[in-house]
Amino acid sequence: MAAVLHALLVLFLVFVFPLWDRRETARLKASTHPGARLRGYRQTIAWQLVATGMLLLTVPVRLLFTRPGGETVMGHRLDPGIVLPIIVGMTMGALLPVIILRMKARKDPTGPAPAGPLDAIAFFLPRTRRERWWFAAVCVTVGVCEEIIFRGFLIRYFGSLPFVHVGLAGAVLLSAAIFGMDHGYQGWKGILGTFVLALVMTALFFVTGSLWVPIVVHALLDLRVLLILPRKPADATPETPGPA
C-alpha cells in the first residue's frame, strides 16, 4: 500500500500539480476577490501537509531526515565542523540584500518599492496584515514540507527504483528538476532559480547529514520576503463573501 501511495505522490508532483498550479495561477492573477490570495495560501498549506503526513506515516522518520549513504557521501566522510559556517554564511548572504533595501527605503520613502525582484510573483504576495500572517504560515509550512517531500523522500525514491538505475546524482537532478517545475507560477526564471535552490538545499542536506538544516534555511529564505515588502498598518481591503 505504501508503494502505491508513494507512486501516486510522484505522479501528482510530476504531472498533476504543474497543471493545477498553472490553472490556479491564472485564476489568481485574474481574480479581483479580496480573499483570493488567502484561498491560495490555504490550498498550499493543505496539500503540503497532506502529502507530508502521508510520508511520515509510511516512511521511517529516520530515513526522511538523514541523507542517503549514511556517514559518507561519494565515499568521503564529511567534517561536521563546517555546518555552522555554512548556515551563518547562507543566512547572512540572504539577509544582507534585504537589510540594504530596507535601509534605502527608510532614507527615501518616496522612492521606488524595493520589491523589484519579486515582480514575477507579485500576484501571490500579501498586501494586508492578515495576508502577511497567512503568508508567514505558508513559508514555514513550505520550508518543512517541501524539504521532506523533495529532499527527504524524492531523492531516496528515485535512487532506489528497481528497474531504473539513475544513481545518486541522477536522483538529485530529477528531484531538483521536479522541484523547479512545480514552481512554474514564478515564470521560467523562477523555475531555473528554484532548480538551483534545490541543488543548494540538497548540498546542505548531504554536507550536514540532517534534513533540519535545509528546512531552517528554506523557511528563513522564504520568510525574508516579508522583510522586503512594505508594511501596512491595517488591512486595506476587508474580505467579502463570494466566489474566488
pLDDT at 67: 86
Task: Go through 6-16 and write b for each residue having 16 or more CB atoms within 10 A of its CB, e for each that does not.
Answer: beebbeebeee
pLDDT at 76: 47
pLDDT at 120: 84
Query: What Å distances lie between residue 32 and 1, 23, 119, 123, 189, CA to CA?
Result: 43, 16, 18, 11, 26
Give the model confidence (pLDDT) of 94-146 as tens digits.
Answer: 556 555 655 665 566 555 554 456 788 999 999 999 999 999 999 999 999 99
End-to-end CA, the chain: 36
In sequence order, the 6+-apart residues with CB closer than 8 A to the CB of 91 are: 217, 220
- 241 occurs within a structural domain: no
Range of the domain at 179: 2-228
CA 227, 230, 233 angle in degrees (round to 5)? 110
Output the pTM of the full model.
Answer: 0.83
- 53 occurs within a structural domain: yes
Instruction: Return d(Cα 79, Cα 145) in angstroms, integer.
Output: 27
The three-state (H, E, C) secondary structure of the chain, written as one string: CHHHHHHHHHHHHHHHHHHHHHHHHHHHHHCCCCCHHHHHHHHHHHHHHHHHHHHHHHCCHHHHHECCCCCEECCEECCHHHHHHHHHHHHHHHHHHHHHHHHHHHHCCCCCCCCHHHHHHHHHCCCCHHHHHHHHHHHHHHHHHHHHHHHHHHHHHHHCCCCCCCHHHHHHHHHHHHHHHCCHHHHHHHHHHHHHHHHHHHHHHHHHCECHHHHHHHHHHHHCHHHHCCCCCCCCCCCCCCCC
- 54 occurs within a structural domain: yes
pLDDT at 244: 41
pLDDT at 110: 56
Q: pLDDT per position in the chain (244 positions), as tens?
A: 999 999 999 999 999 999 999 999 999 999 999 899 999 999 999 999 999 999 999 999 999 998 886 544 444 455 555 555 655 666 666 556 555 655 665 566 555 554 456 788 999 999 999 999 999 999 999 999 999 999 999 999 999 988 888 989 999 999 999 999 999 999 888 899 999 999 999 988 988 888 998 999 999 999 988 988 876 554 554 444 444 4
**Number of domain units in the chain:** 1
- 239 occurs within a structural domain: no
- 9 occurs within a structural domain: yes
- 235 occurs within a structural domain: no
